[in-house]
Structure 1
Amino acid sequence: MTTTRRTFLTAVGCTGLLGLGVAQTNGQSEDDLARDSFTLMSGTADATEVHVTTASESGPTALVVGGMHGNENAGYLAAEKIAQWNIERGTLVTIPRANAEAVAADARTASGESDLNRQFPSGSERETELARAIWGVVEEYDPDVVIDLHESIGIYDGDLVGGVGQVIFTSWDESASDDAAAAAQYLNRNYVSRDDYAFSVGAFSSPSNEPSGLFSHKAARDAGADAFLVEVTSKDTEIGKRVQWHTKLVQQLVEEELLTTGGDGNDGDEDGEDDESGGDDEDGGNGDEGDDGSDEQNEPPVAQIQSDAGGRSIERGETVTLDASASEDGDGEIVEYAWDTDGDGAFETDGESTELAPTECGEFRVTLRVTDDAGSVATDNVVISVV
């Protein structure tokens, strides 16, 4: 990708989005980098954060989206890591948990809602308020590159029946197809060592074919972006490996646009030694999981909540145990676990696990915050339903 459709976006404020339920939440400036964030659908169950990183050097804009489906954990965990990247030029916009309510429930869709990734029909209005708010980000920042992160329980074999994992689906642009092929080759050479797990490249379906209404399709057809829908497989693959695949693929797809060779976001492991030395074994574990930057850049941790409720509703007074032991930090260790068990934004308890015994019916959002030994933070959420 050597050409772009637009110039550097000089203002990263969200004035144009205020009509879509956006509330500015914070911003910070560094010498050569500005970071801002704002909330879509503020004050609703769909409230979700948008992060904007802007470099001082002019360049194109990339938009990375995760959590379109709430039970595809690797996508939103990777997007949260990507939101913390340092870039050398242009603008990086991320929506890690696009369908925040579904993410909190660890479900494909929010309760009572249809599939969010079918609500973006090409050439016409979005179908829900959340879809309109998300598309408003596209309209505001006019991204040159759009990457939507997903995962599948199977591996793609040419049809959509058995699963679509290990594929980069692309818009019909030659530049997008070439970049996807190069990214797949890079991942296969450096981060895939198991037979049948190699990444391949596929083209988006035509507008008349199913599935329709996909966000990435609309980004390509209505916004003219080089668009990618990345699918990794959860088949016999641990969460850390899936997150690594996503972050490495995004790195490759935006490197020429936003990153510098050998700098932030590029770990310089072109010789392929990283995958083999990392010990990628049959269950998908890898010692360097989640590495998205140079050796000088700390890798944020991955927060992961496991519950003995197993996704079922619990009864009033029943005690449910929430466990954070599946959380991990690829380049260090987690030194702090904090829990917000009543959804008020304050973290009341600490420790690798906690218990909840609600005495009232309803839905209770629990947030885990983990901090690594370099001070980087990650969060995860679950919703406990009490009947």
Structure 2
Amino acid sequence: MRRRTLLPPGATALTGALIASVAAIRSLQHSPDRSLARAKDALNQDRIVKTLMEGTDHETAIYEVDGSQEGPTAVILGGMHGDEINGYRVAADATNWEIDAGRLIVIPFANIVAVERNSRRGPDGDLNRLFPGGREPESTLARAIWGVVEDADPDVVIDLHRSRGLFNTHHRWIGQVVLLTETDGTADIAEDVIDYMNDHHVPQTMRFHRFTMANIHDTDRDSGLLIQKVHHDLDVPGFLVESTDFLLDLKTQLRWTTTITERLLERYGIQRTV
């Protein structure tokens, strides 16, 4: 968001104080220890169906949310990058959702070691670069996660992330983007969800925060992203959701990430009821 303001004489000190206060609030909101504790408190332990890599540092739980009716299966992942708080917080919350049909397979802390360190990378590097299409995943953890995805036989996979910066403004960062596979219908679905977010959630005064979409083939042909392998090996729709933290408080990041996830699920026949 860009603003032009004319400051009256003497306002500089007040503005500096306000900026410092906002920074302090943001620092508190983004406290990794507090966010991890809240995420763990939100987990519905009654819905654990499997423990991944039990007895290792990577041990983490897999959750299943079942609807009252038969329906599609969605896999939701958070914490692929350990410093992306909104991703694992929303995935943790999803273990408590109620849905009308189908099922959700949820991995809130895909890379628990990186989450606990508040680090993008884990011991094996960037986990979301270890899923080459047509080949075995390149770490023990990546292979275990891929096994969960394969066993779920999903109709859609949603991978939740946080970006920095703004799309087409800060070229080092991807910004507010829904990255999708080329599976039939995914572009129309992503466009519908993005239009909804931009029309109903992103304020007009924050036009630089508007969401956009990108195809995985606009990136490297095979950079090892999980959704690339989902597309290549399973021919299943995949979405990587990026919500920025640039001038955006954590509460808003969580709300926007949650809403995008809900809307994507709706388009695949899974309606959140609570």
CA distance in 1, matches of 2:221, 2:85: 24
Stretches of 4+ aligned residues off by more than 3 angstroms: 256-260
CA distance in 1, matches of 2:181, 2:104: 20
Q: Give the secondary structure class of the aligned counterpart of 1:231.
A: strand
Pair 223,60 (structure 1): closer, same or farther in 2 beyond 3 Å: same
Pairing partner for 1:101 from 113, 121, 134: 113
Would you say 1:51 and 2:54 are equivalent positions?
no
1:183 aligns with: 193
1:164 aligns with: 174
Would you say 1:197 and 2:209 are equivalent positions?
yes
Match runs of 1:231-242 below 5 Å: 231-242=242-253
2:155 aligns with: 144
2:50 corresponds to which letter in structure 1?
F
CA shift for structure 1 position 27: 7.5
Q: Which runs of 5+ in 1 are unaligned?
A: 1-25, 29-34, 265-296, 298-387
Q: CA RMSD in A?
A: 2.0
Would you say 1:229 and 2:240 are equivalent positions?
yes
Residue by residue over 1:358-384, the C-alpha shift from the partner in whole angstroms, topping out at 9 and shown as x without a partner, is xxxxxxxxxxxxxxxxxxxxxxxxxxx
2:164 corresponds to which letter in structure 1?
I
CA distance in 2, matches of 1:124, 1:81: 32
CA shift for structure 1 position 142: 0.9
Q: Which runs of 5+ in 2 are unaligned?
A: 1-43
CA shift for structure 1 position 36: 3.9
**Maintained 8 Å contact 1:59/1:257:** no
Match runs of 1:1-387 below 5 Å: 28=46, 35-110=47-122, 112-157=123-168, 161-193=171-203, 194-205=206-217, 209=220, 212-260=223-271, 264=273, 297=274
2:198 corresponds to which letter in structure 1?
N
CA shift for structure 1 position 163: 0.9
Pair 27,155 (structure 1): closer, same or farther in 2 beyond 3 Å: closer
Structure richer in strand, relative to its length = 1
CA distance in 2, matches of 1:122, 1:198: 31
CA distance in 1, matches of 2:236, 2:184: 12
Q: Give the secondary structure class of the aligned counterpart of 1:244.
A: helix
Pair 206,166 (structure 1): closer, same or farther in 2 beyond 3 Å: closer
2:128 corresponds to which letter in structure 1?
N
CA shift for structure 1 position 132: 0.4
**Maintained 8 Å contact 2:163/2:242:** yes
Q: Give the secondary structure class of the aligned counterpart of 2:133.
A: coil
**Maintained 8 Å contact 1:91/1:258:** no
**Maintained 8 Å contact 2:132/2:222:** no
Q: Give the secondary structure class of the aligned counterpart of 1:117.
A: helix
Q: Give the secondary structure class of the aligned counterpart of 1:91.
A: strand
CA distance in 2, matches of 1:120, 1:89: 30
* Percent identical residues: 38
Larger radius of gyration: 1
Which structure is higher in RCO with an 8 Å CA cutoff and minimum separation 6?
A: 2
Aligned residues: 229
1:275 aligns with: none
CA distance in 1, matches of 2:238, 2:179: 8
1:78 corresponds to which letter in structure 2?
V
CA shift for structure 1 position 38: 1.9
Structure 2 length-normalised TM: 0.79
